[in-house]
């Protein structure tokens, strides 16, 4: 076998001999270059001082480790003015003082960038190239740098180091669909400094964060700012949800009236409609009143949160409401008996009312659950004795979240009871029809339909006498140019959201222990074909 062909640099190296060990292939090689240049002064020298052997790790061969035993020479420096008298010749196949050949270092760096430290170490060990995870991670930064390229269309968004506590900023080149940098925080000064280093930027897409709006205005005044359409629609629906949470009591009252008129007198005792929210407990009511009392005393949101121990999100939600919202009623969990309810109903209607007999029979049908579930099902059927034997799910009052979706997108209403409930709300609540029209008009405008009417719609929001919608209008007016660009231009932050998901995957794959340099290296790494 001609090992000379497989050397890292067959031109400057000469193969001498090979030794095969159980797990390692040793190749003894020497340099064929007659002279070497001094690393200090660059003077070429042919005067050999001495020799020594240097061991280098090379690419694995047939599942065996490969070690190169290189005969390296020391030379005298012939320049009289050079402070270094003796130097070692520099090999083309490895960097000075490195134990890996250049081609092996490139290979392990690419594997580490794709798989991470621990996973890459396990993969390389399986193919006969054991390298520790620490060595792999040390090789990542120096092999992940890419040449500078101009960025004309930039997308920015935040990402969580730790959700709710610490955030960074991700920057994406929308033209090339590539992450170009990660910033350690989302402070205005940090983003402005980065933008000023890239004066070529012409378009910036972002969410409606005031920090990014200010940073883009200061750091890249020449760029056109575009708000993200998805975030605009999301903010509109969340604004409507907050409004409906504040007025949840009259909405639930109308739902109970509507469902009461739909049921027949024989169905009054049946399980047909249930409220979606449980009444507030005394403790929840006390908590609600305490937050409002502290606000009346002039305390800020942060002070109330520190004094009560509740998060600022909870405090802000309670301050927007006029009554305690209670707790959402959770739907019953799915169980093994659900797949056999229709069969059990047929047996019940045929006259089989004994729980033990039904349990034995349904077990023969493949049921693997317990007897208690069958017994409770029979108990519920007995409570409905003399009423309709419908075993369908209960119709619940839509939550504020679900109702906000129904108002924004009427096509989502599929249940006839919900449709009649919404019709009753339009008749009995004077504000309902007006808010519904505003939201549906805004949903169409923000989706890109008739963007020329956007300014008029924002004015209608400002004059709607609904505090939540008026605040939303203030935010749109403050960032109107970016909002108008969002509904008229094709750019959005969709790519950036995808890169954030990729970043989350990498973070979780490294158990959240990766630092900024490693995350940046893996996110900006672009494998060569």
Query: pTM (2 decimals)?
Result: 0.67
Rounded-to-integer distance, Cα 249 and Cα 258, Å: 14
pLDDT, position 265:
43
Beta bridge partners of 181: 171
Q: Which residues contact 198 (CB under 8 A, 6 or more apart)?
A: 150, 151, 154, 220
pLDDT, position 141:
63
Burial level of 191, CB count in 10 A (0-12/13-18/19+)?
buried
Query: How confident is the chain (529 residues) per 10-residue block, as mean pLDDT?
Result: 81 89 90 90 91 91 88 92 92 89 87 83 84 82 64 93 89 93 93 93 91 93 93 93 88 84 46 57 85 91 89 86 73 80 89 89 90 89 60 68 92 87 90 92 87 89 91 92 91 92 89 83 77
The pair of structure tokens assigned to 376 is 């409770």
- Tell me the Cα Rg of the chain: 35
User: CB atoms < 10 A from the CB of 483, how many?
Assistant: 26
pLDDT, position 277:
62
Quote the distance between the C-alpha of residue 288 and its chain's center.
Answer: 33
Q: Decide: 290 and 314 in contact? Cβ < 8 Å.
A: no
Overall size of the chain counted in residues: 529
CA distances (Å), origin 486, targets 35, 69, 241, 473, 475:
65, 63, 23, 16, 15
CA distances (Å), origin 224, targets 103, 198, 205, 216:
44, 14, 8, 9
pLDDT, position 275:
54
Q: Decide: 471 and 478 in contact? Cβ < 8 Å.
A: no
Quote the distance between the C-alpha of residue 13 and its chain's center.
Answer: 50
DSSP 252-314: HHHHHHHHHHHS-GGGTTSS-EE-SEEPPPHHHHHHHHHHHHHHHTT--HHHHHHHH---HHH
The pair of structure tokens assigned to 524 is 């900006």
The residue behind tokens 């070497």 is 36
The residue behind tokens 């900024």 is 516
Q: Decide: 76 and 34 in contact? Cβ < 8 Å.
A: no
């Amino acid at each position: 076998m001609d090992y000379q062909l497989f050397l890292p640099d067959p031109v400057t190296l000469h193969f001498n001999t090979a030794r095969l060990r159980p797990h390692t292939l040793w190749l003894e090689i020497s340099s064929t270059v007659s002279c070497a240049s001094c690393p200090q002064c660059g003077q070429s020298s042919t005067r050999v001082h001495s020799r020594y052997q240097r061991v280098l790790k090379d690419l694995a061969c047939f599942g065996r480790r490969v070690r190169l035993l290189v005969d390296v020479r020391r030379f005298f420096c012939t320049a009289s003015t050079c402070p270094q008298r003796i130097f070692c010749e520099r090999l083309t196949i490895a960097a000075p003082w490195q134990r890996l050949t250049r081609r092996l270092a490139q290979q392990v760096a690419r594997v580490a960038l794709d798989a991470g430290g621990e996973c890459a170490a396990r993969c390389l060990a399986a193919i006969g190239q054991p390298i520790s995870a620490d060595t792999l991670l040390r090789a990542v930064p120096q092999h992940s740098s890419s040449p500078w390229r101009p960025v004309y269309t930039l997308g920015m968004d935040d990402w969580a180091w730790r959700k709710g506590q610490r955030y960074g900023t991700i920057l994406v080149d929308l033209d090339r669909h590539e992450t170009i940098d990660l910033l350690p925080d989302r402070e205005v000064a940090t983003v402005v400094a980065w933008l000023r280093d890239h004066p070529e930027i012409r378009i910036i897409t972002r969410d409606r964060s005031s920090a990014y709006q200010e940073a883009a205005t200061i750091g890249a005044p020449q760029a056109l700012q575009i708000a993200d359409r998805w975030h605009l629609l999301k903010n509109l629906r969340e604004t409507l949800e907050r409004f409906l949470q504040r007025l949840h009591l009259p909405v639930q009252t109308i739902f109970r009236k509507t469902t009461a008129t739909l049921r027949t007198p024989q169905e009054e005792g049946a399980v047909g409609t249930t409220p979606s929210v449980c009444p507030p407990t005394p403790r929840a009511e006390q908590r609600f009143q305490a937050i409002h009392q502290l606000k009346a005393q002039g305390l800020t949101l942060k002070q109330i949160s520190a004094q009560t121990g509740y998060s600022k999100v909870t405090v802000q939600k309670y301050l927007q409401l006029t009554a305690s919202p209670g707790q959402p009623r959770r739907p019953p969990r799915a169980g093994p008996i659900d797949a056999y309810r229709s069969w059990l109903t047929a047996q019940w209607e045929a006259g089989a009312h004994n729980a033990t007999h039904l349990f034995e029979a349904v077990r023969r049908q493949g049921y693997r659950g317990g007897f208690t579930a069958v017994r409770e099902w029979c108990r519920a059927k007995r409570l409905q004795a003399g009423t309709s034997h419908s075993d369908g799910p209960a119709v619940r009052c839509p939550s504020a979240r679900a109702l906000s979706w129904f108002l924004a997108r009427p096509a989502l209403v599929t249940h006839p009871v919900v449709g009649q409930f919404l019709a009753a709300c339009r008749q009995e609540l004077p504000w309902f029809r007006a808010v519904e029209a505003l939201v549906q008009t805004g949903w169409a405008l923000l989706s890109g339909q008739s963007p020329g009417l956007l300014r008029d719609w924002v004015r209608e929001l400002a004059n709607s006498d609904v505090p939540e919608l008026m605040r939303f209008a203030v935010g749109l007016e403050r960032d109107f140019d970016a909002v108008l660009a969002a509904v008229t231009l094709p750019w959005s932050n969709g790519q950036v959201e995808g890169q954030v998901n990729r970043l989350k995957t990498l973070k979780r794959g490294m158990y959240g222990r990766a630092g900024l340099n490693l995350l940046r290296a893996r996110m900006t790494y672009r494998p060569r074909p």
